[in-house]
């Protein structure tokens, strides 16, 4: 990591950074102790999980919920708590498997 | 009125606040930020004072903001957005800026109720065209859960701890929303993270007005409130159901309570779920303290009912 | 065309010609008239500027930072306690590399409260990361306001700049000033080029990011490089201004009868005028004395000061503020400048003129007389102080 850090002559004026740069830099999925597993069959596409995800990790594709961004999902469980159809289940990370 | 699908479509078309921020797992702040940004149509520039949201979203060389965003210090976000908005007006005059741009501040309760109150009052009085959203989690969470003037009475915070003599915070919270209303701004209101579509609708209504607009949003902090990681929404919902946190708005001086709970849920139901109030259920004087808390909630709620009655649209027209 | 005007009016005229997009300002004696003149320009519609009549100096600088990050040309003005209140944000403006130019009507700091001139406010801001210029006259205040704007906005610099003018002595007295015609002044300052403006909504950026120990040091080193660049840019802009106006501005310092001087005083601001009168009187008696006036206080011109003073035997550095518990701030700079020199004068440090105490020719004569026999010391001496 240290050798990726830039020297002072290569830094942007005043520490200004381009919008949205954190997404690539910080893969907060590594924080997760529990992972949400999505059951597509139970899902009614109500988007409550999307609305209540603090980490923008409910993936929408062409107006449909299509999965979970495990690179950034911190495993907080808000999606599972809000889901009206129990289509999201929190499982311990070690035993978890990707829904896809 | 933006539905959840509309908000989702807008985010799919262009995400305004990305993942990769380092707010705690289960933090409610991003929900408010996304709902507000997705509720505003067209270009928007945001500002934040120092706080959890600022620190966790803007660690150099990253940022979770995908709209133009600026942070300067703790006490001055309203002054900063005043400058941004003044620049917009001047550069619109010269023709350098041609598009309609909206301005929004996201500040915590410390940066809004306390250290930033003077700057906020100044910006409201000068009439800048901006929306100020207070992400009210009721204490200085970024520095370690110290009490603020938004902290409710009896809450245990690190500078209002539960001691042998004094059981948590002795004072009531400040009623900032009403302080803002007293500036006669076109729009002021309260929302909660449990009612995000209501929040988005309020933002849409507010943004129809030129001038200062203010939303005080109860934004649960599981860490500071000492509640489970996945409890942000249920906690805020209970605050609304117990009338601790009324959802209401004041549009051009007209009061409207957006939600009146049908059941009379005692505030104790909300208090007992949070670690910061746990002492009330162990303290020999706990019953008395809870009764005082309830009386304070009732007084505030009844005041609001009276204001709604006296300052309703019908009254003002009659 | 020559006109009679106060220092306030001279600064306000320069501001009118610069015509910033945003002026955010809060009243304080002895700065208020600058704000008042500018408010009149805005309300008369003769400038396109947006005036933000803020509720404090803290908000004045905060609004300036917001406006500058948004992409606007921005100016403000303050004094004394006002600067003390805004200094937190001045550091931030410098760290964010925003070219905000402000007039500082130099005034003492409380307590006790006092509205009159000294340099405590300028010293308070000396480590903030803004460049600082001191003016001797209303003419200089006008000229250096235009010059400072062009320096601040130079692509190599992009930091705030402070133009110091002594409170009351310069702000409130009427002097002959020869301003440029509007078109020439505007052409000299040139158009403002915004960098990464917030209002460029198609290219979103974040300003005021948070740096951990992995990047803070490098970002501050880059900021230090920006103020180092001021020196070269100052000379370039000053030269352009001198050739445009014929004024004798050349360099960071102005030596007066210093070439063969055996004794000298080093001063900032309007005291230079008084010191020149004292020097003329002593020269008539055949005494070899001179004045070194420092125009560019930050970044401090160490090499030039050392060169100018190398041949002098006795130097009195005059500080118009305490740096409590230490020698005067200007003295420390001059001493540091002379450390690498082979030839070093004996330095004495005088504190004078605090809280608007009259600065007289007699005081300067006293300093020249005393330093004749001064030995190297680290004690402070005083001018115009009752024991």
State how far the alpha carbon of A97 is from the alpha carbons of B22, C75, C251, in Å. 24, 59, 71
Mean predicted lDDT score pLDDT of chain C: 98
**Residue B314, pLDDT score:** 62
C122-170 pLDDT, tens digit per residue, is 999 999 999 999 999 999 999 999 999 999 999 999 999 999 999 999 9
Average of pLDDT values for C39-60?
A: 98
Name the superfamily (CATH) of residues B4-317. Answer: Thiamin diphosphate (ThDP)-binding fold, Pyr/PP domains (3.40.50.970)
* Chain B residues within an 8 Å CB radius of C209: 58-61, 63, 71
**Residue C326, pLDDT score:** 97
pLDDT-based confidence at residue C176 (cuts at 50, 70, 90): very high
C363-385 pLDDT, tens digit per residue, is 999 999 999 999 988 899 999 99
Q: Is C205–A15 a contact, with Cβ atoms under 8 angstroms apart?
A: no
Chain A residues at the B interface, defined by Cβ less than 8 Å, are 12, 15, 17-28, 31-32, 46-48, 50-57, 60, 62-63, 69, 71-72, 74-78, 80-82, 90
Q: Using CB atoms within 10 A of its CB, is residue A37 exposed (0-12), middle (13-18) or buried (19+)?
A: middle
Cβ distance B263 to B214 under 8 Å? no
**Residue A3, pLDDT score:** 56
List, in sequence order, the alpha helices (H) in chain C: 7-18, 32-43, 57-70, 80-95, 120-124, 138-153, 182-189, 216-245, 271-284, 302-309, 329-338, 361-371
Mean predicted lDDT score pLDDT of chain B: 97
Average of pLDDT values for C96-102?
A: 98
Residue C280: strand, helix, or coil: helix
Asked if pLDDT for residue C279 goes beyond 70, the answer is yes
Find, among B36, B43, B41, B40, the residue nearest to B92 by Cα.
B43
User: Does residue B196 have a cis bond before it (omega within 30 degrees)?
Assistant: no
pLDDT-based confidence at residue A95 (cuts at 50, 70, 90): low
Q: Is B8–A75 a contact, with Cβ atoms under 8 angstroms apart?
A: no
Structural domains in chain A (count): 1
Q: Is A22–B5 a contact, with Cβ atoms under 8 angstroms apart?
A: no
Asked if pLDDT for residue B258 goes beyond 50, the answer is yes
B212-251 pLDDT, tens digit per residue, is 999 999 999 999 999 999 999 999 999 999 999 999 999 9
- Chain A closest CA to B58's CA: distance in Å? 8
Which of C55, C199, C219 is facing B45, going by the closest CB pair? C199
> Which chains pack against B, by 3+ Cβ pairs within 8 A?
A, C
* Chain B residues within an 8 Å CB radius of C204: 65-69
What ranges do the domains of chain B cover?
4-317
Q: Is B20–A82 a contact, with Cβ atoms under 8 angstroms apart?
A: no
Which of B27, B68, B196 is facing A51, going by the closest CB pair? B196
Asked if pLDDT for residue B294 goes beyond 60, the answer is yes
B136-192 pLDDT, tens digit per residue, is 999 999 999 999 999 999 999 999 999 999 999 999 999 999 999 999 999 999 999
* Chain B residues within an 8 Å CB radius of C186: none
**Residue B86, pLDDT score:** 98
Q: Is B82–C66 a contact, with Cβ atoms under 8 angstroms apart?
A: yes
Q: Which two tokens stand for residue C9?
A: 């009016």
- Chain B closest CA to C200's CA: distance in Å? 8
**Residue C212, pLDDT score:** 97
Find, among C198, C197, C187, C196, the residue nearest to C150 by Cα.
C187
**Residue B255, pLDDT score:** 97
Report the alpha-carbon distance of residue C63 to residue C52 in Å, rounded.
8
CATH architecture for the domain at C3-245: 3-Layer(aba) Sandwich (3.40)
- Chain C closest CA to B258's CA: distance in Å? 34
- Chain B closest CA to A31's CA: distance in Å? 8
What ranges do the domains of chain C cover?
3-245, 255-383
Q: Is B8–A51 a contact, with Cβ atoms under 8 angstroms apart?
A: yes
**Does the ipTM surpass 0.90?**
yes
State how far the alpha carbon of B205 is from the alpha carbons of B36, B210, B249, C55, in Å. 12, 11, 10, 29
Q: Is A52–B31 a contact, with Cβ atoms under 8 angstroms apart?
A: yes
In chain C, % of residues over pLDDT 70: 100
pLDDT-based confidence at residue B296 (cuts at 50, 70, 90): very high
pLDDT-based confidence at residue A99 (cuts at 50, 70, 90): very low
Domain span including residue A46: 27-94
**Count of all residues that appear for chain A in the document:** 100
Sorted by sequence, the CB contacts under 8 Å of residue C39 that are 6+ apart come out as: C51, C53
CATH of domain C255-383: 3.40.50.920
- Closest chain B residue to A5 measured between Cα atoms? B61
Average of pLDDT values for B298-314?
A: 92
A2-18 pLDDT, tens digit per residue, is 458 999 999 999 999 99
Q: Is A13–C97 a contact, with Cβ atoms under 8 angstroms apart?
A: yes
**Residue B275, pLDDT score:** 98
Find, among B308, B314, B197, B204, the residue nearest to B260 by Cα.
B308
Q: Is C215–A11 a contact, with Cβ atoms under 8 angstroms apart?
A: yes
B113-132 pLDDT, tens digit per residue, is 999 999 999 999 999 999 99
Average of pLDDT values for C19-47?
A: 98
pLDDT-based confidence at residue B318 (cuts at 50, 70, 90): very low
Domains C3-245 and C255-383 share a fold: yes
In a domain, A99, yes or no: no
């Amino acid at each position: 990591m240290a050798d990726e850090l830039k020297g002072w002559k290569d830094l942007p004026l005043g520490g200004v950074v381009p919008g949205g740069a954190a997404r690539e830099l910080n893969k907060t999925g590594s924080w997760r102790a529990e992972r949400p597993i999505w059951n597509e069959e139970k899902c009614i596409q109500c988007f409550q999980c999307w609305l209540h995800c603090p980490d923008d990790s409910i993936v929408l594709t062409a107006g449909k919920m299509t999965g979970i961004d495990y690179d950034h999902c911190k495993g907080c469980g808000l999606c599972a708590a809000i889901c009206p159809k129990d289509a999201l289940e929190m499982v311990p990370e070690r035993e978890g498997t990707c829904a896809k | 009125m933006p539905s959840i699908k509309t908000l989702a479509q807008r985010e799919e078309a262009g995400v305004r606040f990305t993942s990769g921020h380092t707010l705690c797992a289960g933090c409610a702040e991003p929900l408010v930020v996304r709902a507000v940004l997705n509720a505003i149509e067209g270009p928007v520039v945001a500002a934040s004072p120092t706080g959890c949201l600022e620190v966790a979203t803007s660690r150099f060389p990253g940022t979770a903001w995908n709209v133009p965003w600026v942070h300067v210090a703790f006490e001055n976000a309203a002054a900063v957005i005043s400058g941004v908005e003044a620049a917009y007006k001047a550069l619109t005059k010269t023709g350098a800026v041609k598009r309609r741009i909206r301005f929004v501040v996201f500040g915590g309760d410390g940066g809004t109720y306390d250290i930033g109150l003077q700057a906020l009052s100044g910006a409201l009085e000068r009439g800048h065209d901006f929306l100020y959203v207070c992400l009210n989690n009721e204490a200085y969470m970024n520095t370690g859960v110290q009490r603020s003037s938004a902290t409710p009475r009896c809450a245990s915070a690190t500078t209002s701890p539960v001691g042998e003599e004094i059981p948590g915070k002795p004072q009531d919270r400040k009623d900032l929303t009403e302080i803002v209303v007293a500036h006669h701004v076109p729009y002021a209101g309260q929302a909660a993270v449990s009612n995000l579509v209501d929040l988005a609708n309020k933002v849409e209504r507010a943004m129809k007005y030129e001038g200062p607009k203010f939303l005080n949003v109860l934004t649960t902090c599981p860490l500071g409130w000492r509640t489970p990681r996945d409890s942000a929404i249920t906690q805020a919902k209970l605050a609304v159901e117990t009338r601790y946190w009324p959802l209401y708005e004041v549009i051009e001086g007209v009061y409207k309570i957006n939600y009146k709970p049908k059941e009379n849920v005692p505030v104790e139901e909300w208090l007992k779920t949070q670690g910061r109030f746990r002492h009330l259920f162990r303290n020999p004087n706990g019953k008395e303290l809870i009764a005082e808390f309830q009386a304070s909630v009732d007084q505030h709620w009844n005041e609001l009912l009276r204001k709604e009655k006296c300052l309703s649209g019908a009254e003002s027209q009659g | 065309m020559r006109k009679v005007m106060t220092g306030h009016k001279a600064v306000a005229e320069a501001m009118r010609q610069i015509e910033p997009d945003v002026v955010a300002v809060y009243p304080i004696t002895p700065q208020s008239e600058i704000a008042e003149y500018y408010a009149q320009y805005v309300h008369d519609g003769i400038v396109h500027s947006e005036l933000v009549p803020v509720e404090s100096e803290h908000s004045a600088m905060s609004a300036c930072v917001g406006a500058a990050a948004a992409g606007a040309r921005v100016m403000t003005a303050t004094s004394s306690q006002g600067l003390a209140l805004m200094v937190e944000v001045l550091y931030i403006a410098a760290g964010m590399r925003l070219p905000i130019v402000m007039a500082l009507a130099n005034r003492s700091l409380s307590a006790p409260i006092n509205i009159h001139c000294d340099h405590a406010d300028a010293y308070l801001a000396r480590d903030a990361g803004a460049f600082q210029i001191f003016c001797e006259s209303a003419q200089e205040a006008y000229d250096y306001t235009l010059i400072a704007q062009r320096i601040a906005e130079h692509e190599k610099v992009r930091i705030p700049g402070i133009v110091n003018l002594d409170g009351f002595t310069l702000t409130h007295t009427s002097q002959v000033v020869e301003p440029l015609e509007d078109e020439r002044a505007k052409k000299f300052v040139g158009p403002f080029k915004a960098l990464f403006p917030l209002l460029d909504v198609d290219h979103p950026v974040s300003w005021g990011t948070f740096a951990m120990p992995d990047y803070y040091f490098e970002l501050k080193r880059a900021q230090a490089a920006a103020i180092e660049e001021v020196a070269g840019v100052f000379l370039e802009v000053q030269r352009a201004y001198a050739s445009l106006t014929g004024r004798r501005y050349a360099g960071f310092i102005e030596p007066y009868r210093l070439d063969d001087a055996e004794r000298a005083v080093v001063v900032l601001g309007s005291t230079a005028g008084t010191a020149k009168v004292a020097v003329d009187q002593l020269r008539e008696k055949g005494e070899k004395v001179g004045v070194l006036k420092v125009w560019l206080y930050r970044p401090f011109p160490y090499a030039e000061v050392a060169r100018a003073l190398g041949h002098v035997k006795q130097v009195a550095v005059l500080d118009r503020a305490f740096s409590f518990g230490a020698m005067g701030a200007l003295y420390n700079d001059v001493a540091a400048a002379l450390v690498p020199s082979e030839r070093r004068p004996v330095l004495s440090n005088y504190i004078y003129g605090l809280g608007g105490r009259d600065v007289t020719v007699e005081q300067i004569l006293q300093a020249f007389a005393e330093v004749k026999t001064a030995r190297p010391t680290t004690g402070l001496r005083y001018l115009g102080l009752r024991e």
